[in-house]
Amino acid sequence: MLNGIVWPDIWQATGSTIYMIVISTLLSVVIGLPIGILLYMTAASGLRPNRIVYQVTSVVVNIVRSVPFIILLIALIPFTEWIVGTSIGINAAIVPLVISAAPFFARVAETALREVHPGVIEAAQSMGANVMTIVWRVLLRESWPSILAGVTLTAVALVGNSAMSGVIGGGGLGDLAVRYGYERFQTNVMIVTTIVLIILVQILQMTGDRVVHHFAKRRG
């Protein structure tokens, strides 16, 4: 059953996948969170309502989110080459991963921010807090557990997408599954990579839940 599996390759691919997920999650948060804040602030109910900014941002986010990842992967090849210098390998895979996950995270963040009770914001305004203070010390602070839950959600979604990037030679477990499992008919390699991916997702989810719980435990 386990005949012909090259274990060092599996471990190396696992490492690559983890690298891709960690980096692309971080970048997605770095890019997505400001977009999420922008969406929240410029919405009709936000602190700085602006119909045009909101609509434009919202439509762009929706368009990127509606393109299937596999198409984005291929369509972005020129862009990836321009940014990374190559369209093959794990660093190249990170570009489409981030482009697909950042708008997703932006929506998650927007939703999390909306959960903050408007009264709490009003109380801060009544104390003379300016907009920046409200964003940092009220909005982000109050919605932190929800935002962290959103980070977990994004990371888990990225596990699936990172495997898919194997199709264009992105590296990692997906790449391994395609090369050995599909092209060489080594079903057992496919099964092993899938198991490793399942374990990865479980670990991510458990860690994420723990962190969220840690930040949320005292609140009502």
Partner 1 sequence: MIILDNISKTYRQSRGDETTAVRNVSLRIDTGEVFGLIGYSGAGKSTLLRCINLLERPSAGSVIVDGVDLTRLSKRELNQKRRKIGMIFQHFHLLSSATVAENIAFPLRLAKMPAAQVRARVAEMLQLVGLTGYERQYPSQLSGGQKQRVAIARALAAEPSVLLCDEATSALDPETTKSILSLLKDINHQLGLTIVMVTHQMEVVRDICDRVAVMTEGAIVESGRVLDVLLKPSHDVTKRLFQIHQAPLSPTVPSAATRVVEIAFTGATAHDPILAEVAQSTGCTFSILRGTIDTVKDVPFGQLTVAWFGEKTVVDAAIQRLEQAGFILLKEQITDILPQATEVTVSC
Residues contributing to the site for partner 1 (CB under 8 A): 117, 119-120, 122-130, 133, 137-138, 141-142, 144, 215, 218-220
Question: Measured between alpha carbons, how far is 216 from 213 in angstroms, rounded to an integer?
Answer: 5
Provide, rounded to whole angstroms, the least separation between the CB of residue 116 and partner 1. Answer: 9
Provide, rounded to whole angstroms, the least separation between the CB of residue 115 and partner 1. Answer: 11
Nearer to partner 1, 5 or 120 (CB): 120
Nearer to partner 1, 141 or 184 (CB): 141
Nearer to partner 1, 64 or 120 (CB): 120
Nearer to partner 1, 103 or 150 (CB): 150
What are 171-174's contacts with CB under 8 Å, separation 24+? 171/13, 171/16, 171/20, 171/89, 171/90, 171/93, 172/13, 172/14, 172/16, 172/17, 172/20, 172/90, 172/93, 173/10, 173/13, 173/14, 173/16, 173/17, 173/197, 174/17
Question: Measured between alpha carbons, how far is 64 from 24 in angstroms, rounded to an integer?
Answer: 16
Question: Measured between alpha carbons, how far is 170 from 32 in angstroms, rounded to an integer?
Answer: 23
- Provide the 8-state DSSP code for 67: S
Provide, rounded to whole angstroms, the least separation between the CB of residue 59 and partner 1. Answer: 22
Nearer to partner 1, 120 or 167 (CB): 120
Provide, rounded to whole angstroms, the least separation between the CB of residue 114 and partner 1. Answer: 15
Provide, rounded to whole angstroms, the least separation between the CB of residue 56 and partner 1. Answer: 22
